[in-house]
Amino acid sequence: MLLLRPLTRRTVGVKLSARGLSSSLRLSQVQPQQQQPIAFVFDIDGVLMQTKNPILPHAPMVLSHLKDHNIPFVLLTNGGGQTEQARVDFLNSALSPSVSEADVGDDSDSTKLLHTSQLIQSHTPMKNLVDKYKRVLVIGGLDPQARDVALSYGFKEVIRPIDIVRATPNVWPYTRYTQHELTHHSLSATESKIETEPIDAVLVFNDPRDMGTDLQVTIDALCSDKGLFGTRRNSGASSPSVPIIWSNMDLLWSTGYPIPRFGQGAFRISTRELYKRLNDGKELEDTVLGKPWPVSYAFAEWVLGKEWRRINGSAQKGSKGIVPGLGVRPKEQLFKKVYMVGDNPESDILGGNDYGWETILVRTGVYKDGDFERNPKLARPTLGVFDNVWEGVSAALKANNIK
Ligand SMILES: [Mg+2]
């Protein structure tokens, strides 16, 4: 049954210990859970943050409260383009003003809101592809950060569009790269071997920053002769020359601008349409990760289990592998309930519902009141719609008699 009425938070009990936060903000007392705990999975943009700005005071209040009461949570975002460590360092400093620059990169500090292991970006599951593809073209995100991310995952050779432009400037004459970027953020033609070495796959890590260049080189790769740039195969197949894997298919995302902006999904639509036009009407075969697809929720469930073991001091130190394979669900049901908290019915809520989790929708992002009336097919949250993340989590705790 849908519950669309925002619940009022309880104000009995525990004083929040969030650093620098008002002590007048209170939440119902939560006892540490030993077995069958509930757990939370948070989207970031539109739930905890609006682009670079934290949603205050609710975002740090909620994370501090869950941390202080040993309730497991992870962040599952369709964003990306930087290393998990860099993103967590930024979030810790944005959400916990007491964290100084000198503290970044040190996960051992127990006062930090977030550990690096709690962040799942849309491309994080691509770690599982390093044994499958050796030389990859990584699209989207910034230079040089996006290359650093792929290398940090273990890919042996990482090619970026800027490398292709540097080696063959006529590949896209209208490119927006500056001379500084070309000099400092690209591989030389000798290093990149663009004209002699084929790529094994295209991985779209994040939204394009230069849509024209990225569209051109992506289509070039998909329609090439076995992945070699500057070549073209015979047209007419749905299967591209090299596989393409998208980290998400979000058409829109919330930036703080009054109207949601185009995301990676807009780039995917454009790529698919161009591929179709160049391949006798054949639909492109591709793979999509990220919300709302179950592969990302399964990955999050593994990470939640790891987080639960970390909280209980039973984490296996030094174990690098998180999941046995993309899309594989854990056999063990560690949690009584998992709540997905998001701002986007078509992404967070749809995927959470399909995966069998409880879902909480907030009003601080993409979703606007009246959306369900305008589009009755939108996925609806199982717990309800709430003004902010604090109200949503309060209702979930109350629903589980955690007081
Ligand atoms: Mg969002």
| pLDDT of the chain, 403 residues: tens digit per residue | 333 333 333 322 222 333 333 333 334 434 444 556 899 999 999 999 998 999 999 999 999 999 999 999 999 998 888 899 999 999 999 998 554 444 445 555 677 899 999 999 999 999 989 999 999 999 999 999 999 999 999 999 999 999 999 999 999 999 999 999 999 999 999 999 999 999 999 999 999 999 999 999 999 999 999 999 999 999 889 999 999 999 998 888 877 788 989 999 999 999 999 999 999 999 999 999 999 999 999 999 999 999 999 998 876 654 445 677 788 899 888 999 999 999 999 999 999 999 999 999 999 999 999 999 999 999 999 999 999 999 999 999 999 998 6
pLDDT at 385: 98
Residue 386 three-state SS: strand
pLDDT at 6: 30
Q: Do 128 and 268 have their domain in common?
A: yes
CA 20 to ligand 1 center in whole angstroms: 26
Q: Do 316 and 178 have their domain in common?
A: no
Is 373 within a domain?
yes
Is 211 within a domain?
yes
Phi, psi of 155, rounded to the nearest 5 degrees: -65, 135
CA 45 to ligand 1 center in whole angstroms: 4
CA 391 to ligand 1 center in whole angstroms: 17
CATH number of the domain bearing residue 261 = 3.40.50.1000
Is 324 within a domain?
yes
Q: Do 298 and 276 have their domain in common?
A: no
CA 79 to ligand 1 center in whole angstroms: 9
Q: Do 186 and 137 have their domain in common?
A: yes
Is 15 within a domain?
no
Q: Do 269 and 328 have their domain in common?
A: no
CA 163 to ligand 1 center in whole angstroms: 31
CA 350 to ligand 1 center in whole angstroms: 13
Q: Do 312 and 343 have their domain in common?
A: yes
Is 160 within a domain?
yes
Closest alpha carbon to 218 in 281, 164, 154: 164
Q: Do 272 and 331 have their domain in common?
A: no
Q: Give residues with Cβ within 8 angstroms of 379, minimum separation 6.
A: 292, 345, 346, 349, 350, 353, 359
CB 68 within 8 A of CB 368: no
Single out the residue in 288, 316, 349 at which a domain terminates: 288
How far apart, in whole angstroms, are the C-alpha atoms of residue 337 and residue 5? 21
DSSP H helical ranges for 185-336: 189-192, 211-222, 264-278, 294-311
Single out the residue in 258, 288, 318 at which a domain terminates: 288
Single out the residue in 288, 304, 322 at which a domain terminates: 288
pLDDT at 106: 55
Is 240 within a domain?
yes
Closest alpha carbon to 287 in 268, 274, 308: 268
Is 204 within a domain?
yes
How far apart, in whole angstroms, are the C-alpha atoms of residue 228 and residue 195? 7
How far apart, in whole angstroms, are the C-alpha atoms of residue 71 and residue 63? 10
pLDDT at 102: 46
Q: Do 298 and 278 have their domain in common?
A: no
Q: Do 141 and 85 have their domain in common?
A: no
Q: Do 234 and 255 have their domain in common?
A: yes
Q: Do 306 and 182 have their domain in common?
A: no
CA 238 to ligand 1 center in whole angstroms: 32
Residue 314 three-state SS: coil
pLDDT at 312: 87
CB 28 within 8 A of CB 396: no
pLDDT at 252: 85
* Sheet of strand 244-246: strand arrangement: 157-159, 135-139, 201-204, 244-246, 287-288
Residue 183 three-state SS: helix
What is the span of the domain harbouring residue 369?
38-96+115-122+293-399
What is the domain count for the chain? 2
Cβ neighbours of 402 (radius 10 Å) = 17
pLDDT at 95: 93
CB 99 within 8 A of CB 112: yes
Cβ neighbours of 89 (radius 10 Å) = 22
Q: Do 190 and 154 have their domain in common?
A: yes
What are the C-alpha distances in Å from 385 to residues 104, 265, 313, 370, 379?
35, 25, 35, 12, 12
CB 155 within 8 A of CB 128: no
CA 344 to ligand 1 center in whole angstroms: 6
How distant is the alpha carbon of residue 62 from its chain centre?
A: 20
Closest alpha carbon to 209 in 159, 139, 115: 139
